[in-house]
Chain A
Amino acid sequence: MSGILRLCTAGSVDDGKSTLLGRLLYDSRGVYEDQIRSVQAASRNRTSGPIDFSLFTDGLRAEREQGITIDVAYRYFATARRKFILADTPGHEQYTRNMATGASTADLAVLLVDARRGIREQTWRHARIARLFGITTFVLAVNKIDLVDFDEQVFRGIVEAAPDALDGARVQAIPISALHGDNVIEPSARTPWYDGPPLLPFLETIDVAGRGASDAFRFPVQLVLRPDATFRGYAGQVASGTIAAGDTVRVWPSGARTRVTRIVTWDGDLPVARSGMSVTLVLERDLDVARGDVLSSAPPHVGRRFSADVVWMDEQPLRSGCPYVLKHGARSVTAEVDRTLSLNEIGRVTVTAARPLAFERYGDDRTTGSFILIDPATNFTAGAGMIAEPVAERRAGLAGNHAAARLAQAARGADTDEAAVTLVERMLEEMLI
């Protein structure tokens, strides 16, 4: 457990997401008194009921005026057990891109459902996006349970109608009233038929570690540090796995083999670096390693083509055959795709990059399995992509010499003949299948 739980919210407009978040912030004392006073002043102009909790999270004037959330807002609160980073994502369909942004870094999603209305198309869509982005732990929060007289049958009916998108995921359904606080922090006496945990205690204790990522060491090189002639180090953040001084690694896409001699930090050299740590690695051999290369302990997929699920976030549609800038890890390359997508559409495309990339399937590693597409005309971040499968580079004319050189280089770098054969076999398979 990293001590931080990242979560996002999903659901339809009016299901009460902002109210629930406001309640969590308020009850866990994440909202300070002067912010409450400013919200109370604003509340008087809109509602006549109790504090309008959604005003804590709707930050922009345009949002407060229209009573909607139009952009992802990040909120922070902490309890004695955990720190929470919470992405409050908008419910309107036109802001699907923000749902995607919120889901991309989240460990867990809270799906809000209005007990009176049941699960709606928008919620189903959000659940599907959350699954696509690798979230496997969900809270199905059946809200406004007070407005259906705390009826167990209504709750059961909604849980049974849970979307297919949640099949195989870990789901905790909780009947709540965000407005009145039932089952948010404390168990509610008004739902005696519910014996599960309230929302906050569940979030405090849920273990989301080990989600998807395999244990191999992966390290995208961000920066080559050469302060003087005596030091050359490769700075970056460990994407997955661990590395110890003395370990052998390969540099991708070249496949060259080397050894890590030092793990350097401002606080002194470390014997071991783990997933998530920002460090600087010194390598044994003077190799040509550049920003964007990936150091890893297990061979990644290396190639220019792969299939990917792309969420399109730009008003200008994705066009097939047009050049885009693809940023993957610390490397930017020109790339094109084979089909079109319009704003908020999600689709499986085949990507062809101008240069080979070292990547993993998104399900195996979120960092080396994800990329963004940038429109070179506007520089807008237009697409978010998750790599599904490597695709063979069929046009031998393009792959030809380049592929041969890579195979030769990889074979030369291998420790043993056996390792060389395995490596070349795998690379050939990727190129030919």
Chain B
Amino acid sequence: MATSEHLRTLEAESIYILREVAAEFARPVLLYSIGKDSSVLLRLAQKAFHPGPMPFPLLHIDTTYKFREMIEFRDRQAAAIGATLIVHTNTQAIAGGAQPFAIGTQRCCGLLKTTALLDALEAGRFDAAFGGARRDEERSRAKERIFSLRDAHGQWDPRRQRPEPWRILNARLNPGESVRVFPLSNWTELDVWHYIQAEQIPVVPLYFAREREVIVRGASLIVPEQPFVPLLPGERTTRVMCRMRSLGCSPCTGAVRSEATTVADIIEELVAVRQSERQLRVIDHDQDGSMEMKKREGYF
């Protein structure tokens, strides 16, 4: 389906965006979320500045509830690439007992992701933050600009976004403002996997199917890594052949039943499957238009 030619076009556009940011902003940072999109973004950043090093650090917002394999992969990758890695956690909220089953997913995300992100950006005085978000992921993201303007509180106002004719990017900011930059805006989930295959980019093993100990809850398969994930009446853990389609916090990210053990298998599965990747992310569905609301509050 995808041609290598169209992947080269997407790659060249993304590299153009990465270079514009490096040229025009004082303190860029790459938000590294460890998932497949971040892995692609990282490879593109390596390419954009070759033979020089990436001229910005990586920032990971660690909720402490990410899958263990994600954290191991993160540290291994950062070391292999020689990148500077900043890890930030809202330790105060964790100490206060923040977890999804105690305070609900909306408040938990707000404290451990949005607040933590805004605090980390402020602490680093970062004026541009790269993210791996794509416009095909979700309805409000389809309206995002390449440079997503945020106010002093990191908030998104869809009516204040600047027009982006051609590929001329306006990098001028008023005091206190910053941008989130999305070099993968025009990529689709399938493009990302095709590129990972073509470039042999390492990804977290959680993406590949194997037997895992899970709680089967409706259509979701929950991996009980965190001790606070409750077993509902009648539930027990079982071993299921499954994989993650999207990576997040283990209590809120469901696995899908799958036999796909290689990138080629995953691509084949995606072409056949008719469900979107964020379906098993509980946090997108807590109310209608919830991604739009999270973005207005400063979420990615």
A residues apposed to B, CB below 8 Å? 2-4, 29, 32-35, 38, 42, 57-62, 64, 70-76, 78, 80, 83, 85, 97-98, 100-101, 104-105, 222-223, 225-227, 231, 233, 235-237, 264-267, 276-278, 280, 291, 311, 313, 325, 327-330, 366-367, 370-372, 374, 376, 378-381, 384
Contact = CB atoms under 8 A, between A and B. Distances in A.
B250 interface: no
A366 B167 CA distance: 10
Given A222-B23, A223-B23, A379 B173 contact: yes
> Which residue, of B9, B164, B168, B172, has the highest number of chain A Cβ atoms within 10 A?
B168
Contact of A97 (B16, B49, B163, B168): B163
A233 B52 CA distance: 10
B168 A265 contact: no
A366 B172 CA distance: 23
B124 interface: no
Contacts of B159: 70
Interface string B134-169: 011001111100000000000000110111111110
10 contacts: A76-B136, A76-B186, A101-B163, A105-B166, A227-B52, A264-B51, A265-B50, A267-B47, A325-B172, A330-B23
Contacts of B274: 29, 32-33
Contact of A76 (B135, B166, B174): B135
A423 B40 CA distance: 45
A266 B50 contact: yes
Contacts of A29: 274
Given A60-B140, A71-B161, A276-B9, A85 B288 contact: no
The 3 A-B pairs of least Cβ separation, nearest first, read: A227-B52, A3-B6, A59-B139
Contacts of B2: 3, 78, 83
> Which residue, of A35, A74, A384, has the highest number of chain B Cβ atoms within 10 A?
A74
A80 B1 contact: yes
A371 B275 CA distance: 41
Q: Taking chain A's interface residues, is the majority helix, strand, or loop, or is none over half, making it mixed?
A: mixed
A329 B289 CA distance: 37
B279 interface: yes
Contacts of B10: 4
A379 B172 contact: yes
B143 A72 contact: yes
A104 B48 contact: no
Contacts of B292: 59-61
A366 B159 CA distance: 28
A98 B163 contact: yes
Contacts of B279: 32, 34
Interface in B40-65: 46-53
Nearest to A59: B139
Interface string B173-209: 1100000000001101011000000000000000000
A376 to B, nearest CB: 8
Interface in B285-300: 288-289, 292
B293 to A, nearest CB: 8
